[in-house]
Amino acid sequence: IPHMIPQPRPTALRNTCVLETPDAALNAAFQYAKDNLARCMRWYTLGWGMSNAPHMYTIVVGRDTGWMSMGTDYIAPWFAPEALKVFRDRQKPNGQILEYIDMETDERVDYGLNIADNTPYYIWGVWHHWQQYQDRAFLDAFLPSTRAAGDYLLREIHDNGLLCSIPVGDDRFGITSWRNIIPDTVLAGEVTEINALTAQALRQAAQLTGEARYADGAQHIAQAINRELWTGENYALNRFEGRLDASITGDNLFPLLTGIADATQRKKVLARLSEPDFWTPRGMRTVPNTSPIYHPSRGFGLVGGSWPNLTLWYAAAVAQDDPDRALAALDMVAQPVVQASNPAANVVHGEFPEFFDGDTGVNGGMHLSPWVAPTFIWAVLEGLLGLTWQDGVAHFDPHWPSDWTEVRLRNVPSRDGSADFVLRRE
């Protein structure tokens, strides 16, 4: 390796953050997740990153980088600061974080959208790393960009308390969502997903900066979501040009994941998302097969296919209410990775695939998805095991599946080095 390339401290991932549960498939998939991450963390001309299609592109995406940080913090602490720095150093003058950057040509793209999820995910990634490692030099290096990102989000709040995205076309230029590659589609305006992520990001910015104005903005948005976008049975997908779209999709998870929903709302949303029309043996569909817009593969499976990351978000959201259902969802993601599949399934043993056809269960995307593995680590540790970090110290509030009595974690990195944990059910 040329001497000018930053060389991370050597890490034996086989022995870093080792999970031991009563579920053998879960344990094996957790090990494979670390292997998948090791193969996706790459050095490019502009620095470290994970391409969203490492076999084809040299671009890295803002939202993906934020999500990856939540997983890589547990196995490669050096990575998140390096990957987030790429976006920090190219932050737009208004504070917005870019959609993607080509790590070889330095091409920078935001699709012309005034608001997207890259900015809140960037703040989440910075906040997560700080919570776990309490590295003052890291915080000092990222505080100015966090303030700029938080101020940008505050400026986008309208009088009714919600952020409103303005499309400049369709598909990627008109969709303010993680499901942003659906042809001939516009999903903009007051989008529940983006508003929920922004409320959380502003809460996190308040913790990072100590400035109450961000917490006030977060509360303002949360109240507006429950006032303007709750239909009484579920959260609307969005409101665009005065029309409320109450279509039920997997995106209803975001107010739960970000702490916006109250107990009654959580119960109603999870009950609907747990119904059979949302589920396949491969996991959760993005859109139920009873919906008039359902298609098992259209738009890269984003209007009915089963995306493992969505299944993992569900697992994290449902864990406190139904740990057995959460474990079942985690196992659905784990099984194709650890068990040999029929070649027709288009799955490679040991790799987390991108998405499945909503009817056939055949993988329609990459064999190795860069963002599923870190999300799997996050969903197990912070979802099922209830791991949170306060001032660099780990706190567990485990949600016990019915037949579990003990879980062990070895060599978990944190502020004070690595530690082992034994969780026992009393």
- List, for residues 86-116, the tens digit of each pLDDT value: 999 999 999 999 999 999 999 999 999 999 9
Burial 268-282 (b: 16+ CB within 10 A, else e): bbbeebbeeebbbeb
DSSP for residue 383: I
> What does the alpha-carbon distance between residue 370 and residue 416 come to, in Å, rounded to a whole number?
28
Q: What is the pLDDT of residue 5?
A: 45
Show the low-confidence residues of the chain (pLDDT under 70): 1-12
Q: What does the pLDDT read at residue 108?
A: 97
Round to whole Å and give the CA distance between 24 and 42: 30
Token look-up 């209803």 returns 252
What letters, b where the CB count within 10 A reaches 16 and e where it falls short, cover 31-64?
bbbbbbbeebbebbebbbbbbbebeeebbbbbbb
* Amino acid residing at 152: Y
Cα 68–Cα 422–Cα 391 angle in degrees, nearest 5? 55
Q: What is the pLDDT of residue 13?
A: 79
3-class DSSP state of 375: helix
The model carries a pTM of 0.95
**What is the pLDDT at residue 4?**
45
Residue-level pLDDT at 54: 81
Q: Kindly give, in sequence order, each residue whose CB lies less than 8 Å from that of residue 136, ignoring residues fewer than 6 positions away.
A: none
DSSP state of 114: S
The helix or strand, by DSSP H or E, that contains position 219, with its residue range, turns out to be: helix 212-224
Is beta strand 279-280 parallel, antiparallel or unpaired with respect to 47-49?
unpaired
pLDDT of residue 11: 52
The neighbouring-strand residues paired with 388 are 395
